[in-house]
Structure 1
Amino acid sequence: MITKKEKAIESFKSGMNCAQSVLLAFSDQYKFDDNLAFQISSGFGGGMGRLQKTCGAVTGAFMVIGIHNCEKYSNHSLQTDNNRSMIQEFNRRFTQQHESLDCKDIIKCDLNSPEGQQYCKENNTKETICTKCITDSIDIVHSLIN
């Protein structure tokens, strides 16, 4: 059976963005529609529409955390409280590993400039940094929900 991390990396290598890859890795566990999840998370890659703000692997993880808490708790207040605490803990762990939540800080280049694009290609940023953010996000979410 394929693991969540393997599914996410396959998705990423097939052209999905980092948010889509993380979110869709959990579709079997939470029984949500892949196509709708794909559509919802489509604007979150590259740090949200390539603004290079919050890393897409992080926003995808936040979506999973939200789904988890909404399924686990019927009370809106409990959903919100648990979302906040889990997201804050996710933030602490991810930042400890990557020093930032922001795509631009993590990959150390500007995706919107020709020089940044060249830097990413030359340094295999997607393969070395982005895939690590994806797998680390899945590991952190997994530890938080179990």
Structure 2
Amino acid sequence: MKSKVNEALACFNSGFDCSQAILSAYCEEFGLEKETALKLSCGFAAGMGRLGETCGAVTGAYMLIGLKYGKYLPHDNQSKEKVFELVQEFERRFVERNQSTNCRELLGFDLKNCDKEKALPVIRQVCPNAVKIAAEIIESILGLTENESMGCR
């Protein structure tokens, strides 16, 4: 599979949010329809519904990890542990490149209490980079590129 980093960026730049860009770019690899992915991930944008908490690009990636490895049987704790391990690995790599996974910290202001027009230039600078980095990391972690050995299920 070719890298979908550019697809995630194009989705973001077309008017969708960071969480939507990440989840929708890769969702079909795991049997989730794009429209459903866009709807499902909408509330995770802007740090969880504009709360400024965990970056939407990060939560989109976490959802992808769950789609590939998530626990769906009551006693499958091995899958849950795999998801937790990969979420922590994703977080480590994202922080290494961005210093934080917190939306408010990445942007440098609180989205809830700011002038949206004044915030747009910062969002246009910071968020595409977060989407790009999240996409690169998730491709590596989930083995979604041709150069990775894990492959999709």
* Both proteins in one fold, TM over 0.5: yes
Q: Is the 8 A contact 2:3 2:139 kept in 1?
A: no
Partner residue, 1:133: 130
Aligned with 2:141 (options 132, 141, 144): 144
Q: CA 1:142 to 1:2, structure 2 compared with 1: closer, same or farther past 3 Å? A: closer
* RMSD, aligned α-carbons: 2.2
Greater shift, 106-115 or 44-53, is seen at 106-115
Q: Which runs of 5+ in 1 are unaligned?
A: none
Counterparts of 1:37 and 1:115 in 2: how far apart (Å)? 29
Which secondary structure does the structure 2 equivalent of 1:26 belong to? helix
- TM-score where L is the length of structure 2: 0.83
TM (normalized to structure 1)?
0.86
| Cα distance in structure 2, aligned partners of 1:111 and 1:63 | 23
4+ residue runs over 6 A deviation: none
Within 5 Å, which residues of 2 pair with 1:43-62? 43-62=43-62
- Report sequence identity in percent: 30
Whose relative contact order is higher, 1 or 2, with alpha carbons under 8 Å and at least 6 apart? Answer: 2
Q: Distance in 2 between matches of 1:28 and 1:40?
A: 14
CA contact (8 A) 1:109 1:116 kept: no
Give 1:117 deviation, angstroms. 4.5
The alpha carbon displacement at 1:130 in A equals 0.4
Q: How far, CA to CA, are the matches of 2:111 and 2:50 in structure 1?
A: 7
Counterpart contact for 1:111–1:117, Cα < 8 Å: no
- How far residue 3 of structure 1 moved from its aligned partner, in angstroms, is 4.2
| Residue matched to 2:20 | 20
Please tell me whether the aligned partners of residues 61 and 137 of structure 1 are also in contact (alpha carbons under 8 angstroms).
Answer: yes
